[in-house]
Structure formats: structure tokens, C-alpha cells
Amino acid sequence: MTHVTHPAPGAAKPRLVVIGNGMAGIRAVEDLIDRAPGLYDITVFGAEPRVNYNRIMLSPLLSGEKTFAEIVLNDRDWYDANGITLHAGDPVVRIDRLRRQVVARSGLAVPYDRLIVATGSSPIVIPVPGATLPGVVTFRDVDDVDAMLDASAKGGSAVVIGGGLLGLEAAVGLKARGMDVTVLHLAGHVMERQLDASAGHLLAEELRRRGLTVLTGADTAAILGDDRVTGVRLRDGTDIAADIVVMAVGIRPDARLAGEAGLDVERGVVVDDHMTTSDPAIFAVGECVQHRGQCYGLVQPLFEMAKVLGARLAGLEGAGYVGSVTSTKLKVTGVDVFSAGDFSGGPGTEDIVFRDAGRGVYKRVVLQDGRVKGAVLYGDTADGAWYFQLLKAGEDVSDRRDTLLFGQAFAAAGAGTGNPTDAVAALPDDAEICGCNGVCKGTIVQAITTKGLTTLDEVKAHTKAAGSCGSCAGLVEGLLAHTLGGAYEAAAIKPLCKCTEHDHDSVRRLIKSQGLKSIPAVMQALEWKTPDGCASCRPALNFYLLAAWPGEYVDHAASRFVNERVHANIQKDGTYSVVPRMWGGLTNAKELRAIADVVDKFAIPTVKVTGGQRIDLLGIRKEDLPAVWADLNAAGMVSGHAYGKSLRTVKTCVGSEWCRFGTQAAMSIGIDLERLTWGSWTPHKFKMAVSGCPRNCAEATIKDFGVVATDGGFDLYVGGNGGIKVRACDLLTKVTTEAEVHEYVGAFMQLYREEARYLERTAPWIERVGLDFVKKRIVEDAGNRAALNARFLESQRHSQSDPWAEQTQKHAASFKTLATVE
């Protein structure tokens, strides 16, 4: 094995060029940088005009469960921080081995000392008439997803050719987008490479229950259409209408570039155990590779190759890559499936089978000579890692075959070796936990103990375990719990409530992506466990629908909390308090006289000035609330929303209007802001304040949005709150005009409404997403700030004309209805 000589200080670094910006090539670069940072001058060419992203997550991107930003593996900052030159959207078209340079489509020629070919694979398009028609797409990259999203936005029907993993994921994603979907699969059962016939049958039935049409043994004869696809014809003469056709019948190594350069190519680019091609200066890694006669399409072996190549380029001794024993753990349309090894059976093998169709659980373990040869799990995959470990170790399981299907926890408990719930702890240190990234138990435990890791995200960052498909996250959580004991507190994303498995963020994305515009529609589409939801999810769904579809969705009063329904705060004795709005904390004789008259008329026992510069009327009977509000509305007073998940108050000092220290007119600015934002619905209560000078008498720096006047303009603060856990605001930016203040308020409130979870104040929201996230969206991107503010103003146009916001000023009858809703 040749060694890499580290350059002397000041000497030119060797030039490493990477053809391919995908998962395998960049993983090799990551491993190289971890082992020998700064060793090479690195240039990366990518065919797509994007940074490195997780291709495994294309399906959640299609269904709307993920955004592109959430599947990015390395952003531009990572390339810059590591001195990597990225040419995205400019693929290499020629390798000149004589001159040791690559030539890109743009004509750019870059020399190399070492070259990595990581060109991946190409989707197979079956050669039938009509295969090149517009509307026929594959499913390999973000452009394919965009094409499917464009088609699904118009509705209609889709045909997916191929019932393998990618085909089913495409079908489920298009179904989630509202299309009628038919899956055509040539084999006798779906996912025949990962599942046996029984598990494939169960999966197909589940897909049919979810509204997809699944046809097995379906041979495509032609794709129909003249200028654009209109359907698919089968060999038996059946025609199926289609507005889009997705080809997902398989992949082949993309070795064209390597072959044209004269490298040894068979099915893929031929490499040795150290990923070296027939040219010692050129290496290859990933799906384009053929190693010991094998080509791989799963991410686990690709990352194993990348690890070997990273060490090779760093000049480290290593055993080399000897091939991969693969397992597959997936979630298909919400169903967990697992397979490993050879589960085809055959002479000399035995099957041990467990089947519970009612629960949707199927397990099959194939034995040969008393050892696990293969396994298929459907519906319950908790023991997948254990079976895979037994398979790789070649362990004789003859003495436990009677209980093998009961799983590792049963085996551990029966042997007296531990609590069944700690089954993951019984795995040996070399047991593979994360198949995608080839991370074993010992590596994870060592990282937890030596680096002081306490959360799943930290383990992902340091080991990459659970960082790709995420199916091993439960095992990693188990290792955290076992290693840390009582010090561990799971930080997994929690479902919105007991009625659903979806968390807040997923619900918000799916409402938009699937065009769901009512609470029943959400519950139906997202498979709510209860028919009508509960007191936790209904208010959240009501808010998310209001935020997603302003002007279209009709606020559902019965789904609001009782305080919001009756426009008053319930007190401990069962009476209510009413807080009329006082713009910017200012009032006048007419308003005070109206309050005094209401206090006398209804014998209200307590009148208090609130911390928000308003007057609270406490001790009102529920049956008097409509009449109290009617009298206050008659004087022009509307609700202060002291109970609402909305704007509460805009607190002001007297500012330059009266104070000798004031630099700006705090009261008029505060009134303008309150009139601009009142009646808005937000994830939680929202408070603002305007201080007329840096003395900050209005306490603007502990509000959700604070404005502090200076001699030159205004300092804008966000994310503060008082209460049990006081949080001082973060400085968002400095502006010079009142118009800018208005725009920033609107943009910030809209970003908060669109991104935060229901019942999440701005303070924990900013702590969760980071101030930089807010600044990038609002301060650094003027166009996005303007767009956010425009959406805010549009939503205010609807909310401020809504009976919930204006109360009885124009709609006394509607308020009476709201006040009596239970």
C-alpha cells in the first residue's frame, strides 16, 4: 500500500478532485478531513446545482414531511470552512488521464494529483414506446421530486412502474399529494429484493387499504400519448390513464465517464480492496463501483467503501474493503420492514415463521446448519439488529430455535442476563446498530462516555448513527438510556398529542403539502386515532389551518380554548374577567366612563390596572358576558385578547410626546403597532413594547418584540419574556424609520406564525431554531422579509374583519353565539 506524504509547511498541497457531490464521494471526503485535515487542496464537481444532501430523504421531501433544508448534509458553510471548491451544476464530461485533469461541461479544466470517481448510478428506463414523452420521470434526485410536485399540484392520476422500495415511496408520496396512484410491478409481489412473498402480500394489502391500486405481474407494453403522457398500456391490453408516469424499475452503475477514460469497467468501475481503479491515481466509490464482482445500491456498503477510501487518502494502513453483508431496515407507508441475508430458502434450509395478520406482524428466520442465514420482519422490526448480528457472527442457535422468534429480550430474560427492556445492552460491542453508516455499538457507547453525549442529536453529530434513514434511532436511544442510566432523559420529538403519531412540525407541513383545509380533513388524511380529536389537538389544528389558509379556512370557535370562546379569562371562583383593549395603554374619558357604567350596572366587584397598562374587570358572571361586551362595544371598545393566543398588548412609555428624555414618539408608535397587529392569531400570546429612549421604561427588552428608540432610530429586539423563567431579548437589528419598524414587526410575527409550534412562545422558539435562523430569514434577506410582511398584512385583512377579532362592534349576534358555546 502506498503512503501519502504530507506536504512540508508552505509547500503546495496535492490536488484532490472529486467527480460527484453525492453521499458516497462526500462521505469519503468527510472521513479524509477527520483523519487528515488540510492535507489536500480539494475540488468537488456536482451534476446537480445543489450542495450535498441526503438522497434517502427524497421520499419525505416528496410527501411534504421534510423540506430541502432539512435533508441537506453539508451546506455551503461546510465547504468554505474546509477549503473545498464546489462546482455545483457543472458536471465533469471528460477525464484526461494523460494531462491528469478533468474537463467540466462549462469547459473548465482542473488538474488533479488524485481523483475520486463517485458518479453514482443511473435510473433504468424500460425501452418501451413512449418512454421519452414529457411527463415520464424517474425518481433519483430533487429535480425528479420537483417534477412530481408540479404534476401533483394539478391533481389527476399517476402510474408508478416498479414496486420496489423507490417505486412504493414515490407512490405513497404522490398519494399524499392528492393524486390517484396505480403501482405496476412485474414480479409476483412488491419489494421482492427485500421481502418474501408473505411479507410482500401484507404490504400490498396495506397499500390498498390506504387507497393505492397495486397490480403485480403487470408487464408494461407502452406509454401512451402524443405530445405528453396520457396513460400506460399493459401487455394484456389493459389501458391505465396517467397524467404522470414514474419509472422506478431499478438502477445501474454510471461508469460511462470512467469507461471513456480507459479505466477497467465491467458492470461498474472495477476497484480493489482500497478502492483503487486500474489507474493508481484514480479511485472510485459508491454505486458506480464493482468490487469483487459485486455492485451495491444500499447506503451501508457505500459508506463502508468511503471509510476505507478516506483512510487510504490520509495515508493510513487499513485492512481494506472486503465486501458487505447487508441488511435493510425501512419504513414503507408507515409500516416497519426489515430483511437481511439470504431469505430465499431452498435445499438444506429451515424456516421458522410467526404470523399475526390481525396485528400486521410477520416474522421469518431462515436457518441453515443451525445458523441464521436470512431474516424477514414485517410490522415489528425491533429484533432486526439482533438477527443481523447472529447472521454475521455465524453463531449456532440450535439450542434456542424454539424461542428464536420471541426475540432478544426474551432470550436475555430467559437466560437471566438482564431486563427484557434493556435488550440492546446485551448486544456485543461489534454489533452493528446503524446499517446505513456502518456504526457498531461499541463506537456509540465510547462516544457517549468519552465525549459526554446526552442526546440523540449529539450522537448523530459525532458518530453519524441514525443520521441517514433514521430507522435505528430507537436502538441509539436505548444505548443512551443504558449508558447514562438515570441521567438520561429522552429528547425524541413528541407527537402532537395522544390522538396521533405526527409531531407539530409534520402536521404543519402536511396540511400545506396535502392541501388539507378542515379539521376533519386533517384527521382523516393523517389517520387520527380518535374520531374527533381532543382538547390538545383541536386548538392546535385550528391555529395551523388558520395560519396555512388565511381567508379560506373559517375559524372553528368550538375548537378554541374556553377563554377564547367567551372572550374572557375564567377565574378560580368560576367568574370571568374582561379586559377591553386600550391602544398603546392610552385611554380617554369616554372609555373610562363606559367602564365605570359597566362596573355599576353589573356590580363588578374588582377593577384593576394590569401590567399591560389596561383595566381588568373581575368577577363577572358568564351569563352577563354578552351584555358587558355589548355595552363596551357601544363605546367603541374591543377585546384586549387578554386570554388569546394572539397579540396581547403593546406597552408604551410617554416618549418624546411628554418625557424630557424621550427621543421618539413612543405612544403614537405603540398605537400604530397595536392597530397593525391586533386580532392576529399566533402560536402563543404575543406581547410588544415601545420605549421612547434607551432608559427603557416600557421594559421592551423582555417582550416578544421590543422597540427601543435611540437618537438615530430604533433598536429592535425579539424573543424575550417575563414570568417564571425570565429571558432578555436578543437584538435583531437597528433601523431608522417607523416604516421599517412596521415591516420588521409584520415579518417577525409571520415567521413566528409559520414556523413555531402551537403553544410555543417566541423565547423557546428562538432558543430552538437559533437567532441566526431568524436573522437570515428577516434581516439578511430583504425580499423574504417583504414577502413575510405581505403575507402578514394579507392575513390581518382577514383576521381583523373576523367576528372573533372585532367581537360585537359589528357582529353582536355572533359574539353571543361564541360566548355560549361549550
Q: What is the DSSP string of 546-569?
A: HHHSTTTSPP-GGGS-HHHHHTSE
Third-level CATH fold of 15-121+253-313: FAD/NAD(P)-binding domain (3.50.50)
* Contact yes or no for 345/388 (Cβ under 8 A): no
Spans of all domains in the chain? 15-121+253-313, 136-249, 504-559, 563-634, 647-803
| Euclidean distance between CA atoms 781 and 748, whole angstroms | 13
Examine domains 15-121+253-313 and 136-249 and report if their fold is the same: yes
pLDDT beyond 90 at 597: yes
* Contact yes or no for 172/58 (Cβ under 8 A): no
The per-residue pLDDT for range 506-519, each reduced to its tens digit, is: 899 889 888 889 99
Q: Spell out the CATH class of 647-803.
A: alpha beta
The per-residue pLDDT for range 741-766, each reduced to its tens digit, is: 999 999 999 999 999 999 999 999 99
**Secondary structure (DSSP) of 182-195:** EEEESSSSTTTTTS
| Euclidean distance between CA atoms 42 and 640, whole angstroms | 60
Third-level CATH fold of 563-634: Sulfite Reductase Hemoprotein; domain 2 (3.90.480)
472 is in an annotated binding site: no
C-alpha cell at 348: 438444506
The per-residue pLDDT for range 701-747, each reduced to its tens digit, is: 999 999 999 988 999 999 999 877 889 999 999 999 999 999 999 99
Of residues 308, 305, 327, the one with CA closest to residue 319 = 308
C-alpha cell at 216: 403485480
Return the minimum-mean-pLDDT range out of 397-411, 416-430, 443-457, 767-781.
416-430
The per-residue pLDDT for range 683-704, each reduced to its tens digit, is: 999 999 999 999 999 899 999 9
| Euclidean distance between CA atoms 680 and 748, whole angstroms | 13
Average pLDDT over residues 676-682: 89
pLDDT number for residue 411: 66
Average pLDDT over residues 316-325: 87
* Contact yes or no for 655/692 (Cβ under 8 A): yes
Average pLDDT over residues 44-63: 92
The C-alpha angle 174, 176, 182, rounded to 5 degrees, equals: 45
pLDDT band, very low/low/confident/very high, at 820 (cuts 50, 70, 90): very low
pLDDT band, very low/low/confident/very high, at 3 (cuts 50, 70, 90): very low
What is the C-alpha end-to-end distance of the chain, expressed in Å?
Answer: 78
In a 10 Å sphere around its CB, with 0-12 CB exposed, 13-18 middle and 19+ buried, how is residue 659 labelled?
A: middle
Q: What percent of the chain has pLDDT over 70?
A: 92
pLDDT number for residue 807: 41
pLDDT number for residue 228: 95
The per-residue pLDDT for range 519-567, each reduced to its tens digit, is: 988 988 888 888 788 888 999 999 999 999 988 898 888 888 878 877 8
Q: What distances in angstroms separate CA 81 from CA 71, 77, 172, 718, 775, one per listed residue? A: 20, 6, 38, 29, 21
The per-residue pLDDT for range 422-472, each reduced to its tens digit, is: 567 777 787 778 866 778 888 999 998 898 888 887 888 888 888 766 667
pLDDT number for residue 814: 36
pLDDT band, very low/low/confident/very high, at 359 (cuts 50, 70, 90): confident
The C-alpha angle 44, 49, 55, rounded to 5 degrees, equals: 85
pLDDT number for residue 801: 52
Higher-confidence residue: 85 or 451? 85
Beta bridge partners of 92: 104
> In the CATH scheme, what architecture does the domain 136-249 have?
3-Layer(bba) Sandwich (3.50)
534 is in an annotated binding site: no
For residues 690-719, one letter each, b for 16 or more C-beta atoms within 10 angstroms of the residue's C-beta and e for the rest, the string is bbbbeebbbbbbbbbbbbbbeeebbbbbbb
Taking each helix axis from N to C end, the angle separating 299-313 and 23-35, rounded to the nearest 10 degrees, works out to 40
Sequence-separated contacts (24+) of 35-38 with Cβ below 8 Å = 35/310, 35/311, 35/314, 35/316, 36/4, 36/6, 36/313, 36/314, 36/315, 37/82, 38/13, 38/83
| Euclidean distance between CA atoms 12 and 350, whole angstroms | 61
Q: Which one-letter DSSP state was computed for residue 472?
A: T
Return the minimum-mean-pLDDT range out of 296-310, 318-332, 546-560, 614-628.
318-332
288 is in an annotated binding site: no
Block residue for cell numbers 478502492: 275
At residue 356, the 3 state secondary structure works out as strand
C-alpha cell at 634: 357601544
Taking each helix axis from N to C end, the angle separating 762-769 and 771-778, rounded to the nearest 10 degrees, works out to 90
pTM (whole model) above 0.95: no
Q: What percent of the chain has pLDDT over 90?
A: 54
pLDDT beyond 50 at 20: yes
Beta bridge partners of 294: 291
Residues for the chain: how many in total? Answer: 822
pLDDT band, very low/low/confident/very high, at 112 (cuts 50, 70, 90): very high
693 is in an annotated binding site: yes
pLDDT number for residue 11: 66
C-alpha cell at 247: 419509472
Of residues 92, 133, 122, 96, the one with CA closest to residue 111 = 96
C-alpha cell at 702: 423582555
pLDDT number for residue 493: 59
pLDDT band, very low/low/confident/very high, at 220 (cuts 50, 70, 90): very high
pLDDT number for residue 293: 95
pLDDT number for residue 400: 84
Which amino acid would we find at residue 431? A
Beta bridge partners of 618: 577, 606
Beta bridge partners of 89: none
| Euclidean distance between CA atoms 454 and 54, whole angstroms | 25
| Euclidean distance between CA atoms 819 and 815, whole angstroms | 6
| Euclidean distance between CA atoms 352 and 326, whole angstroms | 21
| Euclidean distance between CA atoms 510 and 503, whole angstroms | 11
pLDDT band, very low/low/confident/very high, at 598 (cuts 50, 70, 90): very high
Which amino acid would we find at residue 531? P
Q: Which one-letter DSSP state was computed for residue 646?
A: B
The per-residue pLDDT for range 154-192, each reduced to its tens digit, is: 989 999 999 998 999 999 999 988 899 999 999 999 999
Higher-confidence residue: 279 or 355? 279
C-alpha cell at 143: 429535480
Of residues 118, 117, 119, 114, the one with CA closest to residue 16 = 114
**Secondary structure (DSSP) of 726-785:** -BPPEEEEEESSHHHHHHHHHHHHHHHHHHSPTT--HHHHHHHH-HHHHHHHHTS-HHHH
* Contact yes or no for 300/286 (Cβ under 8 A): no
Of residues 751, 694, 692, the one with CA closest to residue 719 = 751
| Euclidean distance between CA atoms 405 and 762, whole angstroms | 49
| Euclidean distance between CA atoms 511 and 10, whole angstroms | 56
- Collect all residues with Cβ–Cβ distance below 8 Å to 746 and sequence separation of at least 6: 676, 677, 788, 789, 792, 793
pLDDT number for residue 574: 83
* Contact yes or no for 19/102 (Cβ under 8 A): yes
C-alpha cell at 389: 448480528
| Euclidean distance between CA atoms 689 and 682, whole angstroms | 17
At residue 377, the 3 state secondary structure works out as strand
Of residues 158, 259, 143, the one with CA closest to residue 213 = 158
Taking each helix axis from N to C end, the angle separating 456-463 and 473-484, rounded to the nearest 10 degrees, works out to 110
Give the chain's mean pLDDT: 87
